[in-house]
Amino acid sequence: MVSERSLEVLRVIVHDYVESREPVGSKSIVDRHSFGVSAATIRNDMALLEEEELITAPHTSSGRIPTDKGYRLFVDHLSDLKPLSGAQRQAIETFLGSSVDLDDVLARTVRLLAQLTQQVAMVQYPSLSQAKVRHIELVALTPKRMLTVVITDTGHVEQRIVEMPAEVDDEFLAEIRTKVNAQVAGLGLDAAALRLAEFGEQFAPERRASISVLGTTLIEQVTANRQEKLIIAGAANLVRTEGDFAGSILPVLEAVEEQVVLLRLFSEMQADQHGMSVSIGRENAPFGLAETSVLASGYSGVGGAVARLGVLGPTRMDYSTNIQAVRAVARYLSKSLGEN
């Protein structure tokens, strides 16, 4: 059982190690913090923490650093979350408030989160597998070139340019637009893809070559929407903290690139009473991320769809600041999407 004073010693070891990246000794704790006890007493507390495998000595006769278990206990007892400054809160509102659509707001969100935390930031698209087609727009760019736009009820917009095998006049374009929306508007993405595969049967044989090309493109757009995906920013932040990894950071970078790995990790993380999920060090070993910590929070998308955003970085990170940043950005993102 860890006493209150030992827990406070662990807390300052985590804070000092995160700040300095140097092992923390008992004399340093006495000099920098007001415990009102001797260095010998602090050494006894540190010995107890070491017995509990909460701290460890990276080198003989060195100070101590937190273990994964120590970080976990620290986070579980974290109460001193650093509030964002007024300027930071205003910057979040301004930056996200000027977005033009879902793609833009998520791209802005992931860049903002990477800047606030100096970690790798990740934002999941909201429940695209459950999305429905709201509208399909077709715009003639030239007589044989067309812009196709698929809009879902989650606010996602997918655009493609299609080269048609024959010219499409305004009357034919209007007919296609009317019929395709009558067929798929309001359908789920899987059902819409099936309906589009049979779409050409409504047109005269001489029109079907054009409709086939168009239908294939629309199916690709709908299928792209159906797949779960992440937007990631700040991978360069890992390079700046390369010294926090015992070996090469290449496996971590490769795991970051494998979105399926991060999506699976997101799906298995359990949220606390505040909606935050924190997975530390060896808890991430099944995903090839044993030297990293991942902080995540849910946010509400258009139509109430729920997805996650978060950050990934070395276990030596400022948990207090980063948790508060993830919470704040998730809250503002939900607000921004709810107003659209």
Please give the DSSP secondary-structure letter assigned to residue 203. S
d(CA 162, CA 272): 47
Pairing of strands 157-163, 230-233: unpaired
Question: Mean of the pLDDT values across residues 168-180?
Answer: 92
Q: What single DSSP character describes residue 284?
A: G
**How confident is the prediction for the chain on average, in pLDDT?**
87
Query: Of 27-31, 87-91, 104-108, 148-152, which range is least confident?
Result: 87-91
What was the pLDDT predicted at 225? 62
Compute the average pLDDT of residues 177-192.
91
Q: Which CB contacts under 8 angstroms, 24+ apart, belong to 49-52?
A: 49/2, 49/6, 49/9, 49/10, 49/13, 52/2
Q: What's the pLDDT band for 340 if we cut at 50, 70, 90?
A: low
Span 54-81, mean pLDDT? 87
Q: How far apart are CA 136 and CA 155, in angstroms?
A: 13
Whose CA is closest to 131, among 193, 197, 196, 200? 193
Cα(115)–Cα(167) distance, rounded to whole angstroms? Answer: 48
pLDDT digits (tens, 9 = 90+) for 239-282: 888 888 887 888 888 888 888 888 889 888 888 877 889 999 99
Domains of the chain listed by start with CATH number:
4-76 (1.10.10.10), 86-125+228-338 (3.30.450.40), 129-226 (3.30.390.60)
SS3 track for 100-153: CCHHHHHHHHHHHHHHHHCCEEEEECCCHHHCEEEEEEEEEEECCEEEEEEEEC
Q: Indicate the pLDDT class of residue 227, thresholds 50, 70 and 90.
A: low
Residue 304 reports pLDDT greater than 70: no
Rounded to whole angstroms, the Cα distance separating 272 from 278 reads: 9
Alpha carbon distances (Å) from 107 to 125, 132, 135, 336: 10, 22, 23, 13
3-state SS assignment for residue 202: helix
Please name the residue that has the structure tokens 């019929």.
179
Instruction: Say which residue the tokens 């969100």 belong to.
Output: 109
At 104 the pLDDT is 87
Instruction: Please tell me the predicted confidence (pLDDT) of residue 161.
Output: 95
250-257 helix and 259-268 helix, angle to the nearest 10 degrees:
80
- Say if residues 56 and 65 touch (Cβ distance below 8 Å): yes
Angle at 78 between CA 76 and CA 80, to 5 degrees: 170
* Distance from chain centroid for Cα 329: 11
- Which of the two residues, 171 and 247, has the higher pLDDT score? 171
* CA angle, residues 24, 312, 224, in degrees to nearest 5: 175
Query: What confidence tier does 3 reach under pLDDT thresholds 50, 70, 90?
Result: confident
Per-residue pLDDT reduced to its tens digit, 124-139: 887 666 778 999 999 9
- Residue 128: per-residue pLDDT: 63
Q: CB count, 10 Å around CB of 339?
A: 7
For helices 189-197 and 208-226, what crossing angle results, to 10°? 160
**pLDDT reported for residue 338:** 72
DSSP conformation class of 285: G
Spatial distance between the Cα atoms of 103 and 99, rounded to a whole number of angstroms: 9
